[in-house]
Amino acid sequence: MLKKFVSYYKPYKKLFFLDLFVATISALCDLFYPMITREIANNSIPNREIRAIGIFAGVLLVIYLIKMLCAYFMQYWGHLVGVGMQADMRRDIYKHLQNLPIRYFDNNQTGSIMSRIVNDLQDISELAHHGPEDLFISFFMIIGAFAMLIRINIQLTLIIFCLLPLILLYSMFQRKRLLAVFMKTREKTGDINARLQNSISGIRVSKAFVINDNERERFEKDNQKFVEAKSKSYKIMAEYTAGVGFLTDLLDYVVLIFGGLFTYWGKIGIGDFLAYLLYIKIFTQPIKRLIAFVEQFQNGMSGFKRFMELIGEEEEGDKVDAIDMGKVEGEIDLQNVSFDHEDKSVLKNISLKISKGKMLALVGPSGGGKTTLCNLIPRFYNIKSGDIKIDEKSIYDVKLESLRKNIGIVQQDVFLFTGTIKENILVGNSEATDEEVMIAAKKANIHDLIMEMPEGYNTFVGERGVKLSGGQKQRIAIARIFLKNPPILILDEATSALDNITERLIQNSLEELCKGRTTIVVAHRLSTIQNADEIIVLTDNGIEERGTHQELLANKGFYHKLYNMSQL
């Protein structure tokens, strides 16, 4: 995992190493002050060398100016390394999400995924910048201060370093506990983000059903779990920080007591004692920096672990020898197709064939597998057994992208992206011209309506198209398909959520859309499928009946019952 983390430094390695070089200069600058203090106290003041004091003052000012420039570089350019790595990780995770199967999104909440992309990557970014920088500065300051301490008085230094193993052992003991609680905190952060996203998305339902109190109660439960996880992490962090802080304070204590005694006994001069005190401060400063680094490291690496878990999810893929679909005529052949969902059989040994340019309608009770069957054709889910062929090519032998480019889908719940009407129609073909967009809108019977809007095609639709009616959103979805112009069309209850008047308006657009395309229609309203070339009645038992509208009515079977019920 650490190797993968380090690989993200590669595009920024020049800037990264420059940042470490500047950090080294900054660390070295801090080592000069005690040295100059020692020289002034031991020589310049006793010998009344005013010129030497002036030179030291000038040198110290230059050192502080250099240190200021180093601090600016590290704060600005150093952070850009972390920001760049964060952007690269976000790009990788977004690309990966685009290639994950639908099943992953069925099983994971949007808010939890968002938490990994936003919260986790932010902490990773901070670690990427500050982590190596803090380690590098701490390393040089500890080595440099240690060298100067030995130079001043080796006996006192050995006494002080007896405390270092205690600090090291205590830190190692607390590290594993920190990682565990930080992982738990991230999970609870994901849960509360998911709850927020869910509540905000469903705010209209909450208001309509007056369930604000219920939602607040559910949110508060997740909120309290987050507080408990956070409290535990802070408790362990407090134990770690307080413990190591106490041990580093003991260093100051030992120096003050033993250094005072050594000065009293005449083993070190007053200037050496002052310098020693300052170098101990420099020595303990990186230790305290390392204490903060441990928290940052655990925070960042727990985030990176979750990042790697998501990156490790298996993507949708093609066979090594997968071929392009080429020109698609539109003949669909399902051969003994079986599909299970969460160990429950949904479809079993389904066989049916749809000729090029024909319309197949799927009807039956909810849960019979109609929508599932439609989702299998573009490979949103993989079948358990059997095969699905388009123009005698198995959909598992062709490239996924070329398969889906030849299939257009209009669903009951239309999703519009936040943006303009034009941008949402262009989903069908991002390279289409304005004229082609308008032609598609005219075919979908929405052009005139768009032109009546203040901004026309540049009208903002709001989040998920909230500013448009259901019928308007549905017609924009149809315009997308006209622009895509696929040979295969799937209409999954495309009009079932609309009123009768709007449905009739859209039905005309759908009839135009279906011309010359192989079409599969899932419908509850049987009046919309009477002209289908074949109707399949799909139930828990599989294909219950099949035939034309007239043939199925004459059979007086399941379809006949459904039709009579729809006439009530």
Mind spelling out the 3-state secondary structure of 405-428?
A: HCEEEEECCCCCCCCEHHHHHHHH
- Position 360, amino acid: L
Distance of alpha carbon 424 from the chain centroid: 23
pLDDT top residue among 530 and 331: 331
- pLDDT (0 to 100) of residue 203: 57
Residue 412 phi, psi (nearest 5): -65, -45
- The share of the chain scoring above pLDDT 70, in percent, equals 86
- pLDDT (0 to 100) of residue 390: 92
- pLDDT (0 to 100) of residue 387: 93
> Can you tell me the distance from the alpha carbon of 120 to that of 164, in angstroms, rounded to the nearest whole number?
33
Mean pLDDT value across residues 318-344: 88
Judge whether residue 509 has pLDDT over 70. yes
Per CATH, domain 332-566 is 3.40.50.300: yes
Mean pLDDT value across residues 385-397: 92
pLDDT top residue among 179 and 235: 235
Of the pLDDT bands very low, low, confident and very high (cuts 50, 70, 90), residue 30 is confident
> Can you tell me the distance from the alpha carbon of 514 to that of 330, in angstroms, rounded to the nearest whole number?
12
Mean pLDDT value across residues 289-314: 77
Mean pLDDT value across residues 12-35: 81
User: E strand or H helix at 9, and its extent?
Assistant: none
Mean pLDDT value across residues 58-85: 84
> Can you tell me the distance from the alpha carbon of 354 to that of 131, in angstroms, rounded to the nearest whole number?
61
Judge whether residue 417 has pLDDT over 80. yes
Of the pLDDT bands very low, low, confident and very high (cuts 50, 70, 90), residue 178 is low
Of the pLDDT bands very low, low, confident and very high (cuts 50, 70, 90), residue 189 is low
Mean pLDDT value across residues 413-421: 84
Judge whether residue 184 has pLDDT over 80. no
User: Alpha helix locations (H) across 153-211?
Assistant: 154-160, 164-201, 203-208
Tokens of 154: 């080796």
Judge whether residue 369 has pLDDT over 70. yes
Domain spans in the chain, listed from the N-terminal domain onward: 2-311, 332-566
Of the pLDDT bands very low, low, confident and very high (cuts 50, 70, 90), residue 83 is confident
- pLDDT (0 to 100) of residue 334: 92
In sign, the C-alpha dihedral spanning 490, 491, 493, 494 is positive
Mean pLDDT value across residues 450-477: 86
Of the pLDDT bands very low, low, confident and very high (cuts 50, 70, 90), residue 90 is confident
- pLDDT (0 to 100) of residue 193: 67
- For the ranges 100-104, 161-165, 299-303, the lowest mean pLDDT is seen at 161-165
Across 355-387, b (16+ Cβ under 10 Å) vs e yields eebbbbbbbbeeebbbbbbbbbbbbebebeebe
- pLDDT (0 to 100) of residue 567: 65
Judge whether residue 23 has pLDDT over 70. yes
> What letter does residue 319 receive in the DSSP assignment?
-
> Can you tell me the distance from the alpha carbon of 70 to that of 79, in angstroms, rounded to the nearest whole number?
13
Q: For all residues of the chain together, what is the average pLDDT?
A: 80
- For the ranges 282-296, 458-472, 474-488, the lowest mean pLDDT is seen at 282-296
User: Alpha helix locations (H) across 383-499?
Assistant: 400-405, 421-425, 434-443, 447-452, 470-484
CATH hierarchy code of domain 2-311 = 1.20.1560.10
CB count in 10 Å sphere of residue 28: 17
Mean pLDDT value across residues 512-519: 86
Q: Interhelix angle for 79-98 vs 270-311, to 10°?
A: 10
Residues in CB range of 172: below 8 A, 6 or more apart: none
- Position 30, amino acid: D
- pLDDT (0 to 100) of residue 360: 92
Mean pLDDT value across residues 68-90: 84
Of the pLDDT bands very low, low, confident and very high (cuts 50, 70, 90), residue 268 is confident
136-167 per-position pLDDT tens digit: 777 777 777 777 777 777 777 777 777 777 77
Of the pLDDT bands very low, low, confident and very high (cuts 50, 70, 90), residue 332 is very high
Residues in CB range of 395: below 8 A, 6 or more apart: 377, 379, 388, 389, 403
Mean pLDDT value across residues 415-424: 86
